[in-house]
Amino acid sequence: MKTIKGPGIFLAQFMGDKPPFNSLKSICQWAKGLGFIGVQIPTWDSRCIDLQKVAESKTFADEYRGTIEEAGMQITELSTHLQGQLVASHPAYDALFDGFAPKAVHNNPKARYEWAVQQLKWAAQASKNLGLNAHATFSGALLWPTVYPWPQRPAGLVETGFKELASRWLPILNHFDEHGVDLCYEIHPGEDLHDGISYEMFLEHTNNHSRACLLYDPSHFVLQCLDYLEYIDIYHERIRMFHVKDAEFNPTGRQGVYGGYQSWINRAGRFRSLGDGQVDFKSVFSKLTQYDYAGWAVMEWECCIKHPEDGAAEGAPFIKDHIIRVTEKAFDDFAGTGSDEKFNRSVLGL
């Protein structure tokens, strides 16, 4: 077994216009002061990274990593959640998703897609240059408007959708493979890969691609009423990343999973700061450790109630307290009597 690395923090929700949140160096120093030792980098935020430069220049990548290490931190992984979303998006969301891309490709889905693919390819190269072996993204969604269909889905629609999704991602997965990096999809409502079954369908259409791996985030499964512990039992061999995020689901006679178009604070299902929700993190960390998860435990803050700075301050010790330092010996070693083949055969009466 291996001891999980951490605590890490995903910077996406913390970047801002005021110090210490407006530059990579200062936000790393802030995170270090709270007890974090790793940062996960949102590659769409120019305050955090110049993705193209890190991808195209090993020298620049070394200097970039050095800035983070000077602050006493490590890079856990890079993230292309927003760019990955644009690899596959239904036309119904074009106007909204244009905001994830540069203005030069707005109102041009083809150009936006090509931009997103290039971003993913740079992310693979950048990850290699930084010495990383896992990368976070979203799958995007072609089928999501039909997830609860009315009128009924035409026969073959799901098959067609997953074939197209796979055809878009296969070249990207191959590119990540060439650079020795696992591409980890965050399984998430709104994505075509939103639960175990949809992930399995994607694997089938990508010929079980070895780089099509998982970012495990139990909060999204709480909101779907999915067994997030059994999920680890089933998919642990593919889990390469871990977002430590809490959530709660409190259905009423008025609303359930779908939330009734309410704001986050008024939904039955909502994200919470670590320790304020319903995720059984002791069991989550135990299972991941049992299955030899070798990656980072990275806090993602998305609470609709608590201030983010308080969530971060509480998050570092929360993760640290849940990381299990693995044992190097069996508890009953003291009672061992030693053995060899001859002795073992005699014990068996052979």
What ranges do the domains of the chain cover? 5-347
260-318 pLDDT tens trace = 999 999 999 999 999 999 999 999 999 999 999 999 999 999 999 999 999 999 999 99
Query: What's the mean pLDDT in 49-73?
Result: 98
pLDDT at site 85: 98
CA distances from 64 to 55, 60, 134, 284, 339 (A): 11, 6, 18, 33, 54
Condensed to tens digits (0 to 9), the pLDDT of residues 209-260 reads 999 999 999 999 999 999 999 999 999 999 999 999 999 999 999 999 999 9
Classify burial at 322, counting beta carbons within 10 Å of its beta carbon; exposed 0-12, middle 13-18, buried 19 or more: buried
d(CA 198, CA 3): 30
The predicted model scores a pTM of: 0.95
Using alpha carbons, select from 71, 76, 67, 63 the residue that is nearest to residue 30.
71
Q: Give the model's pLDDT for residue 18.
A: 96
The pLDDT, as a whole number, for residue 95 is 96
End-to-end CA distance of the chain: 34
The rounded percent of the chain whose pLDDT value lies above 90 is: 93
pLDDT for 330 equals 79
pLDDT number for residue 328: 83
Class of domain 5-347: alpha beta
